[in-house]
Amino acid sequence: MNVHDDDAVGRPRQYHRDDSTDPLNELSDLELYKEYRFDKEGILYLVSLLQDALPVAEESGRGLPLAHHIIVMAGLLYLSSNAFQIRIARTLKISQASVSRAITLFVKAVASKVDMFVKFPMTEDERRSEAAAFYDLAGFPGVVSAIDGTHIRIVSPATDVHQYRCRKGFPSLNVQVACNAKGLFTNVVARWPGSTHDSYILRNSELFATFERGDLKGIVLGDSGYPVKCWLMTPLAESQTPAERRYNGSQKKTRVVIECAIGRLKKRFNFLHQEVRMSLDNLPAAIVSCVVLQNIIIKEKIKERVFERYGYQEEDEEEDAGEDDQPNLEELEGRDEEGTLYRRHLIHTIFENRN
């Protein structure tokens, strides 16, 4: 490791690593992907993407700037493994204090890009494309997204413990996510305590307001924890006729895409799968950053290009079966008449005559 003394020309000193000891150059792309979920090209892409959101100079513990790619790698390693910061410090050869600062900088920088990478289909062409892709799954017409909530386990907070205790008995944040037919996330809300019902989170979200105003078109599929609306189709509590059974079957087979997307997200970023050791102030940004990173990995086909390059095959991913165990909202709050009538219309016109 070298320090270049530029004081004579009026420039600040900078902290440089020999290429041979830089962790970005120590591992192959396959090893980088397994540890960081990004290859070298992907890591450098993130460095370029985030350069405007990262500080010009972050202290390394030696009073010298910490390179942006080290900040990125520290954040990625933390999110992918949920490892203790001391382990990350040893891996990247920086101080534990630098790791802590780097993680906070990284998740906030990535979360600031959410509007670039987590987008709902807005144009008519986008909606038509999404509806066709969803229809191919199980023949449910007009669908543009599927929605669900997932709980992120946290360390029990010092105050308001009851607000964070979810229905499964542990403290958590309840995170709303929606995705398209390919599993790309189109919406994320990550700020509500675990005791908050999925329907309450949705009703207080911008997504709900946008659909209610009529600014968004198409159908969203949700489980029985959501209210039935003209734009939000949920399963029937009881299916008695063949058409109703076909509706429920198609709805569930189509909606499973969001459950699988959540499962893949938590498998890739182990930070979300285990008890999170992070302050509640920074946790929402960290959760959103995982969603953003997942979309980047899918869009850039990072896994595919790495595995193809090395001829590597991974066992099929075990995908989450979802968390569809909330009380039926229609039984608790009553039905939305307009939404119920539209659901009945769909069953009669679309599913009545199907085999």
Architecture of the domain made up of 2-112: Orthogonal Bundle (1.10)
User: How is the chain split into domains, by residue range?
Assistant: 2-112, 119-279+315-351
| Residue linked to tokens 């997204």 | 145
When pLDDT is averaged across residues 278-291 and rounded to a whole number, the result is: 97
Distances (CA, A) of 103 to 192, 211, 289, 344: 22, 35, 11, 49
Report residue 5's pLDDT band, with 50, 70 and 90 as the boundaries: very low
Report residue 167's pLDDT band, with 50, 70 and 90 as the boundaries: very high
Token pair for 319:
């995908």
**pLDDT tens-digit profile of 56-108?**
754 444 555 689 999 999 999 999 998 899 999 999 999 999 999 999 999 99
SS (H, E, C) 234-272: CCCCCCCCHHHHHHHHHHHHHHHHHHHHHHHHHHHCHHH
Token pair for 174:
């309840």
Check: pTM over 0.85? Answer yes or no: yes
Locate all alpha helices (DSSP H) within the chain, ordered by sequence.
23-26, 29-36, 40-50, 68-81, 85-92, 96-111, 114-117, 124-138, 161-164, 198-203, 206-213, 242-268, 283-299, 302-310, 329-333, 337-346
Report residue 22's pLDDT band, with 50, 70 and 90 as the boundaries: confident
**pLDDT tens-digit profile of 317-338?**
545 544 545 555 554 455 678 9
Pairing of strands 219-221, 143-153: parallel
Token pair for 65:
């700037």
pLDDT value at 353 more than 60: yes
Q: Is residue 78 a contact partner of residue 35, using CB atoms and an 8 Å limit?
A: no
**pLDDT tens-digit profile of 229-274?**
999 999 999 999 999 999 999 999 999 999 999 999 999 999 999 9
> What DSSP designation does 282 have?
T
**pLDDT tens-digit profile of 186-213?**
999 999 999 999 999 999 999 999 999 9
Percent of the chain with pLDDT over 90: 79
User: What's the confidence (pLDDT) of residue 56?
Assistant: 73
Token pair for 151:
């709980």
Residue 94 to residue 143: CA distance in whole angstroms: 48
